[in-house]
Chain A
């Protein structure tokens, strides 16, 4: 049963073939058995989950069940959830039991979904390998020596290992797409503003966006129906009519114009990954898609622009962690400033501190124009590249990352190498576009490789359509690691 998709589980529950308590128990047992080697979870609370599952079963008996009532899921530890520890992967929030819930959590609760636990992640969502968690690195279920990707590594690993049918995640520079790619699962980052950021612990406010990771595009569409929606508590949440993201899943792809940005296939792309993408494109061509050669000339600049804008925003978003009202406070200090400096030195990990320092520097007096303002101008150039590209095509296809998952420890000593591997994902966040990763094959080491689909603004339904049609014709998304 734990191999089933969200859609299948929903049908089984509706048919009475299984109860929510039975289902939750199966997943909890599997988590208990496999999580010690994967470290995909920060918090699991069996009693609470089973109580929620029992309540869902009761609701079903009372005739109050919705489509997803009683289906288990996992939240990335970045979404505040009332009564659950919401650590964001940080020692700073190791003792933070959230007194309130994020909009995404409220929506999931309202849909009747049951929380199995809280997924591990890079601290404050800063990282591409999940090695930056205070709770230790997450292992890739396909190869325990490999990273699962980050920052939503726990979410992706949990779905890949069939510890949950679906998990919430967030993507600031690729944090949904890259771990989904590395773990062989499907994930979508919607257009900026589609999913409320209320209660989602902020990393870089103008880039952060929540989305689901699941086995299939269809499940992602179902979850996006739950997660998306206007929320007045987030000033950047867009006031748009509710969409049914499943509406176009079954549209044929004939006539679809897919753009291949030449910059995404240049030097630095691993040959195995290139081959997987070529094969995926060939499959879509077979279904009637037309390939268009496009250019995103400022792709390389996305790295410096992102690594100025994101740390700048992060440096001030994380100023609230000062040991005054909640969270970690240093034990010994001689005065107020000392308390701040020790609390923050102890509470934050190395990568978070690095980004805070970079961000503080680029905003500091005399450097703002040369760094922050410059980066914002380049951000505009990058967004303009996409506008031009989407005049020629409906979706853009490419790799998610230059290589399949690398080994744990391989790049952890060299932040710059780590940053360079974000080359294909950062532009999408800078432009605020939707992007997704779909399992498309494996490299020579048997590590999964994802196909990235980038859509125009609000093009989620179209992207999910392409992904679903691809998944109807391929079985990459059905493959699970042997554990």
Chain B
């Protein structure tokens, strides 16, 4: 398997990481080397094996529906890049 430059551009877009045209060759090569390592998995027969998502086979704990949080907007927004009237500001979103 080999990732093309288009593949790299597509996943960079998905991941919202700017990868310049100059970088794309080097990044592509590195990713292909990594996938060369990963491909070794494909030789293994895993038919009938249940996928393991968590180390422990336990169930989700459920929390009581009781308010425990208080308003900390001031502290939280003190470290925000841009706020106005209590809102986080971002470049205009066009729908």
Chain A residues close to B by CB (< 8 Å): 95-97, 99, 191-193, 206, 232, 235-236, 238-239, 298, 300-301, 303-305, 307-308, 315, 319, 322-327, 329, 333, 335-342, 344-345, 348, 353-354, 356-358, 360-362, 364, 370-371, 373-381, 383, 414-416, 419-420, 431-433, 457
B44 → chain A closest CB, angstroms: 6
Q: Do B11 and A342 touch across chains, with their CB atoms under 8 A apart? A: no
Q: How far is the CA of A301 from the CA of B43 in the complex (A)?
A: 10
Q: Do A383 and B55 touch across chains, with their CB atoms under 8 A apart? A: yes
Q: Which secondary structure dominates chain A's binding surface?
A: helix
Q: Do A357 and B42 touch across chains, with their CB atoms under 8 A apart? A: no
Asked if B3 is at the interface (CB within 8 A of a chain A CB), the reply is: yes
Residue-wise interface mask of B (29-73) relative to A, using a CB-CB cutoff of 8 A (1 in contact, 0 not)? 011011111111110101001111111101011010000000010
Q: How far is the CA of A441 from the CA of B57 in the complex (A)?
A: 38
A296 → chain B closest CB, angstroms: 15
A336-B93 contact in complex given A97-B79, A376-B52, A378-B44, C-beta closer than 8 Å: yes
Q: How far is the CA of A307 from the CA of B30 in the complex (A)?
A: 13
Chain B residues close to A by CB (< 8 Å): 3, 7-8, 11-12, 14-19, 27, 30-31, 33-42, 44, 46, 49-56, 58, 60-61, 63, 72, 75-76, 78-82, 88, 90-93
Sort A-B residue pairs by CB-CB distance and give the 4 closest, nearest first.
Answer: A432-B55, A376-B51, A345-B18, A377-B46
Q: How far is the CA of A25 from the CA of B11 in the complex (A)?
A: 50
Contacts of A419 in B (CB 8 A): 34, 37
Q: Do A416 and B18 touch across chains, with their CB atoms under 8 A apart? A: no
Q: Do A99 and B18 touch across chains, with their CB atoms under 8 A apart? A: no
Q: Do B54 and A236 touch across chains, with their CB atoms under 8 A apart? A: yes
Q: Do B56 and A304 touch across chains, with their CB atoms under 8 A apart? A: no
A374-B16 contact in complex given A206-B53, A339-B90, A354-B30, C-beta closer than 8 Å: no
Q: Do A304 and B41 touch across chains, with their CB atoms under 8 A apart? A: yes
Q: Do A336 and B37 touch across chains, with their CB atoms under 8 A apart? A: no
Contacts of B88 in A (CB 8 A): 324-325
Q: Do A361 and B7 touch across chains, with their CB atoms under 8 A apart? A: yes
